Amino acid sequence: MELTLYNSLHREKNVFTPMNPKRVTMYNCGPTVYSYAHIGNARAAVVADILFRVLRHIYGEDHVVYARNITDVDDKIIAAAKEQGVPISEITKKYAKIYQDDLAALNCLPPTTEPKATEHIGGMIALIETLIKDGYAYESDGHVFFDVSKYDEYGKLSGNTLDALKKGDRVGEGEVARKKRAADFVLWKPELDGVGWDAPFGKGRPGWHIECSAMAKSELGETIDIHCGGVDLKFPHHENEIAQSNCAHGKPMANYWVHNEFLNMAKRDGSSDKMSKSLGNVVLIRDLLEEWDGEVIRLALLKAHYRSELVWSEELLKESKAQLDGWYREIKKYRDVEFEPLAYNHPIFNDLNTIESLVIFNDFDFLTGAAKQTANLLGLLQKKPEEWFRGKGKAGGLTDAEIDELIAERSTARTDKNWARSDEIRDIFKAENIVLEDSKDGTTWRRG
C-alpha cells in the first residue's frame, strides 16, 4: 500500500517512505495550555489524527509513534498564573485535560506520547549548549540567541530570505537590542515572575521553538519521518525548529513536513478571516460540544481537503448532522460487516483526500467492508446507531437513565393495565421529544 503526501519542504507530492517501517514517527505541535482550544486548533489535531490512523492502517498499530507535545511554559501562561495568583501548573493541568477531553470527543485517538515542555528542560539546555559550542548560538545579557547567518538553508521551508527577514521583526524591543540581527531568534530567556530553571547560561526559561526540537528528539529521534502543524507555524516556528535541530545534529529534523490550511470565519462582506484568539473570532470546541455530537463537528472539519481553507459556518454543522443521520440509518440495516482490505487506490492514500473518501458513503452500501474501514480511517460512524439516535441530552432534560427507567415503568403499567400511568409516561416523552420504537425485541428510543 502506498501513501503519497504533499511535502511542504519540497513543495510537491511524494510517495511516503519511512526510515523504518517498524517504527514510523510523527510529531505534531500541540497546544499552549492557558485557555480553551478553538475549532481552528481542532482542525490541525483532526488532520494529524487522520494521518495517524492511515499510518497505523498501513504499518500496523504498534509500529507508529505519534508525539503531540503540550507547551506548559510560556509568557501567556505565566501572565495568567500571575493574574489568578496560582502556580502555572494549576493552569496548565486544567487546560491540558480540557484539550484532551475535547479532542477525544472529536474521536481523535490519544497520541502515543504527549511530552510536556517542563519535563524536557534538561534536553533543551543540552541542545542549546551544543549550539553554543558549535558556534550556532551566542549569549547576550541573560539570553541565548540562534545566529541564523550560520545556517545556509535558513528560510528554505517558508521561502523567506534573510534579506526579507531583516525587514520584519517579531520579538519585543528588549530582545532586538540584544540580538546581532533582527532574524536571530531566542533560545533561552531570563526567569520571569519566579518561573525559571538553572542553566549554564543563567537561570531562565526556554524559547518556544527549542521546546519542540528537544521533545521531538527525546521522544522520537534526531530525524523523524513526518512533522505536522498548521501553516501559520511554517514561519517562524518550524523554520526555527529545523535550524536548531539540523545544526545541533548535523542531519534533517524531519523528512516530510505536512501543513494544514486555516479554518477561517466567514465575514458579512463575503471574505473570511483566520480563526484566532488575537482576532477575537473564535468558536470553542467546548461550546460546540454542548450542542453538537463530536462526530458532527469532526465531519464538518473534514469537508475541505486539509490543504484548502475551510470556511466555518453553522450550515456546515447542520449539513454534517443530516448526513450522519442518513448514514447511521444505513448502518442500522447492515450489522457485523467484516473488514475488507482497502483498495490500493483509495483516495485517503492520495494525500489524505477526505473529500473523495466521503463520497464513498453517499452511495453507500454498508455491505462492503471497505466503507466500514473508510469510516474507521476517517474516525466517523464510531457509535452504535441506537446510541447515535438517542442524541445528546439537553441540560435540564431527561437523562438516558431516567428515560430507561420510564420505559421500564411504562411496560409494567401496561402489563398491569394501568393505562393512566402508561399514557402519562407517553405524554412526558412527547413533551421531551423522545421517540419510542417498539419491536418484538423490546423498546428502543431516540431523541427526535
Contacts (Cβ under 8 Å, ≥6 apart) of 389: 325, 328, 446, 447
26 contacts Zn ion (rule: CB under 5 A): no
Site for ligand AMP in 174-233 (CB under 6 A): 229-230, 232-233
Q: In the complex, which residue's CB is closest to ligand AMP?
A: 230
33 contacts Zn ion (rule: CB under 5 A): no
Residue 152: is it exposed, middle or buried by C-beta count within 10 angstroms (0-12/13-18/19+)?
Answer: exposed
Secondary structure letter of residue 238 according to DSSP: I
307 contacts ligand AMP (rule: CB under 6 A): no
Contacts (Cβ under 8 Å, ≥6 apart) of 233: 29, 259
Size of the site for Zn ion (CB under 5 A): 2
- Which residue stretch of 14-22, 25-33, 283-291, 373-381 sits at the interface with ligand AMP (rule: CB under 6 A)? 25-33
Of 100 and 240, which has the nearer Cβ to Zn ion? Answer: 240
80 contacts ligand AMP (rule: CB under 6 A): no
Q: Does residue 112 contact residue 202 with C-beta atoms inside 8 Å?
A: no
Cell numbers for 16: 511516503
238 contacts ligand AMP (rule: CB under 6 A): no
Among 29, 103, 242, 258, binds Zn ion (CB under 5 A): 29
Among 7, 8, 25, 32, binds ligand AMP (CB under 6 A): 32
Contacts (Cβ under 8 Å, ≥6 apart) of 431: none
Dihedral sign of CA atoms 81, 86, 89, 91 in order: negative
Secondary structure letter of residue 336 according to DSSP: S
Q: Phi then psi for 62, rounded to 5 degrees?
A: -90, 5
Q: Does residue 323 contact residue 355 with C-beta atoms inside 8 Å?
A: no
Size of the site for ligand AMP (CB under 6 A): 17
Q: Tell how far CA 57 is from the center of its chain.
A: 19
Q: Quote the least distance from Cβ 212 to Zn ion, whole Å.
A: 3
Of 31 and 385, which has the nearer Cβ to ligand AMP? Answer: 31
288 contacts Zn ion (rule: CB under 5 A): no
Among 91, 96, 148, 212, binds Zn ion (CB under 5 A): 212
Of 28 and 246, which has the nearer Cβ to ligand AMP? Answer: 28
Q: What is the dihedral of CA 256, 257, 260, 261, to 10 degrees?
A: -130
- Which residue stretch of 29-37, 173-181, 250-258, 364-372 sits at the interface with Zn ion (rule: CB under 5 A)? 29-37
236 contacts ligand AMP (rule: CB under 6 A): no
Interface with Zn ion (CB under 5 A): 29, 212
- List residues binding ligand AMP (CB under 6 A): 29, 31-32, 40-41, 43-44, 229-230, 232-233, 260, 262-263, 274-276
